């Protein structure tokens, strides 16, 4: 039976007794054994932080003895085929190919370059259809057709194709040439690495009225743009930076349009956590479906009344100490930070995967208001989480260099300078606050004189903690000697 494909207005239509491209593909490759999700008996997905996932797809098939050609359909469109591994008793893979050139009107036309097609046109008044044979000369940035007596650009009607090329598939397919030692039903498992699956931790923190404790909720946000759906998958997540060999050459394949559909947060228990090698592994207790082009959330952790500390920070710049600086009373912002110690005594003490922490607080009417967010890195137990939430509205600062002079030195790297500074801190709040002033000082330095005692944070930083009275101000004055 002759089967033809009609191309019109970006749509492929099959003119035959069969109505789906998949049926044509199966007919064109009738010697293949085709396996779909109908044969799937289980799937496990392990997702890493770096747009990487390990998929283990188990299926039950009935295979004949001897030479077998298997078409493993509905795999990830972003599969790394060099990582594919098929395991089954009595099966030996001789060759495998990843068919990712999917059926589209453009792909079909591209395959017919140099071959004949039929051009179907309809008379505008009588409606009578006519057919002419033409050769496809090009499909780059349009179509070039050669008729018997002329050449045309563009499609003057609909295009009819005689058959579907064998290497065009409607879905990503891994084809394998195998040797089967026995016939009958077999359990097979295909494992492979793929892109298009990502996860990150998202945290919601509610700050209490006195700013000294938070309620912390953690969610895992999964995003699937791999081109495949994983039904009732056993889900595991790896937190940590797994090294991958860099490619010899990187290129942009055009990208995939990401369509995100937010799913409702799952009312699930926290994920079980364990150490694995130098990483942390999180396992969801129940199967979950990870649909293609979907973003969903799964509960990770809950912690109530976790102690925290709020800090006001004014941080300077090192260039003040290298030369005379003439700007007077430069206005500076005072940052607001919250610190949480990740310890069991603080009702936390669990590995925190990297992600974004969003902080909320109730207003005077009891409604939650967003007050800031910050990104954290992977944080093990007993480490400190530090979040910058913004800049204080009622706290202001200004700084000026009151003196600068060269003491000694005749070369580029042996100068000795002395510089003096005045930092004014103002507080419009109705209660006293403490502002931490941190100054990065280059070279070998020494504080010669100061109005408040400093603390040496490191070899290149000094800090002062300055109490500022309610509705008042305080001034920090200091002089330093710097050797370059």
Domain boundary, last residue among 141, 176, 193: 193
Mean of pLDDT over the chain: 85
Provide the CA 154 distance to its chain's centre, in angstroms. 40
CATH of the domain at 317: 2.60.40
Based on the domain organization, do 10 and 137 belong to the same domain? yes
pLDDT at 201 over 60: yes
CA atoms within 13 A on the CB side of 86: 27
Tell whether 242 is covered by a domain: no
Tell whether 228 is covered by a domain: no
pLDDT at 12 over 50: no
What pLDDT score does 37 carry? 93
Tell whether 123 is covered by a domain: yes
Based on the domain organization, do 189 and 334 belong to the same domain? no
pLDDT at 94 over 70: yes
pLDDT at 103 over 80: no
CB 108 within 8 A of CB 133: no
CB 449 within 8 A of CB 478: yes
Domain boundary, last residue among 141, 159, 193: 193
Who has greater pLDDT, 413 or 59?
59
pLDDT at 232 over 90: yes
Tell whether 304 is covered by a domain: no
- Among the residue ranges 98-102, 281-285, 425-429, the one predicted with the least confidence is 98-102
Tell whether 171 is covered by a domain: yes
What pLDDT score does 30 carry? 54
User: Which of the four pLDDT bands, split at 50, 70 and 90, describes residue 19?
Assistant: very low
Based on the domain organization, do 181 and 317 belong to the same domain? no
What pLDDT score does 236 carry? 94
Indicate the pairing of strand 40-48 with strand 230-239: parallel
Based on the domain organization, do 28 and 177 belong to the same domain? yes
CA atoms of 385 and 338, how far apart (whole Å)? 8
Tell whether 216 is covered by a domain: no
Residue 295: phi and psi, rounded to 5, are: -120, 130
Tell whether 75 is covered by a domain: yes
Domain boundary, last residue among 142, 159, 193: 193
Number of domains present in the structure of the chain:
2
Tell whether 166 is covered by a domain: yes
From the list 345, 343, 340, 370, the residue with the least C-alpha distance to 358 is: 370
Q: Which domain holds residue 67?
A: 4-42+56-193
What pLDDT score does 249 carry? 60
Neighbours of 71 (CB within 10 A): 20
What mean pLDDT do residues 299-324 have?
A: 90
Based on the domain organization, do 175 and 316 belong to the same domain? no
């Amino acid at each position: 039976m002759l089967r033809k494909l009609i191309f019109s207005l970006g749509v492929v239509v099959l003119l035959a007794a069969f109505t789906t491209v998949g049926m044509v593909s199966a007919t064109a490759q009738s010697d293949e054994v085709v396996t779909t999700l109908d044969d799937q008996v289980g799937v496990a997905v392990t997702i890493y932080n770096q747009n990487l996932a390990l998929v283990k797809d188990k299926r039950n098939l009935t295979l004949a003895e001897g030479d077998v050609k298997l078409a493993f359909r509905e795999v990830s469109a972003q599969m790394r085929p060099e990582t594919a591994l098929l395991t089954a008793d009595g099966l030996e893979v001789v060759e495998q190919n990843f068919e990712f050139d999917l059926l589209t009107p453009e792909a079909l036309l591209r395959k017919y370059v140099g071959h004949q097609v039929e051009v179907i046109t309809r008379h505008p008044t009588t409606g009578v259809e006519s057919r002419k044979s033409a050769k496809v000369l090009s499909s780059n940035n349009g179509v070039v057709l050669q008729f018997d007596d002329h050449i045309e650009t563009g499609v003057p009607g609909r295009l009819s194709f005689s058959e579907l090329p064998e290497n065009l598939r409607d879905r990503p397919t891994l084809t394998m040439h195998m040797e089967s030692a026995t016939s009958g039903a077999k359990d097979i498992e295909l494992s492979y690495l793929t892109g298009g699956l990502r996860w990150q931790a998202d945290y919601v923190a509610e700050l209490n009225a006195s700013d000294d404790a938070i309620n912390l909720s953690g969610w895992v946000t999964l995003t699937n743009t791999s081109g495949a759906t994983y039904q009732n998958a056993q889900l595991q997540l790896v937190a940590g930076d797994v090294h991958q060999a860099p490619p010899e050459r990187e290129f942009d394949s055009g990208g995939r349009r990401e369509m995100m559909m937010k799913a409702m947060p799952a009312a699930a228990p926290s994920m079980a956590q364990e150490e694995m090698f130098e990483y942390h592994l999180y396992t969801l207790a129940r199967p979950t479906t990870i649909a293609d082009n979907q973003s969903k959330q799964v509960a990770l952790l809950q912690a109530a009344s976790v102690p925290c500390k709020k800090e006001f920070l004014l941080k300077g710049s090192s260039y003040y100490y290298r030369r005379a600086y003439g700007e007077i009373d430069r206005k500076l912002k005072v940052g607001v930070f919250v610190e949480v110690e990740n310890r069991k005594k603080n009702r936390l003490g669990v590995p925190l995967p990297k992600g974004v922490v969003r902080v909320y607080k109730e207003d005077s009417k009891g409604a939650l208001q967003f007050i800031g967010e910050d990104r954290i890195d992977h944080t093990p137990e007993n480490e400190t989480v530090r979040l910058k939430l913004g800049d204080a509205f009622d706290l202001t600062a200004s700084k000026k260099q009151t003196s600068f002079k060269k003491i000694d030195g005749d070369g580029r790297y042996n100068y000795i300078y002395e510089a003096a500074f005045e930092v004014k801190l103002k507080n419009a709040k109705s209660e006293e606050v403490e502002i931490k002033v941190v100054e990065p000082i280059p070279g070998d330095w020494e504080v010669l004189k100061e109005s408040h005692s400093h603390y040496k944070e490191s070899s290149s930083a000094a800090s002062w903690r300055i109490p500022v009275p309610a509705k008042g101000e305080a001034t920090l004055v200091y002089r330093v000697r710097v050797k370059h």
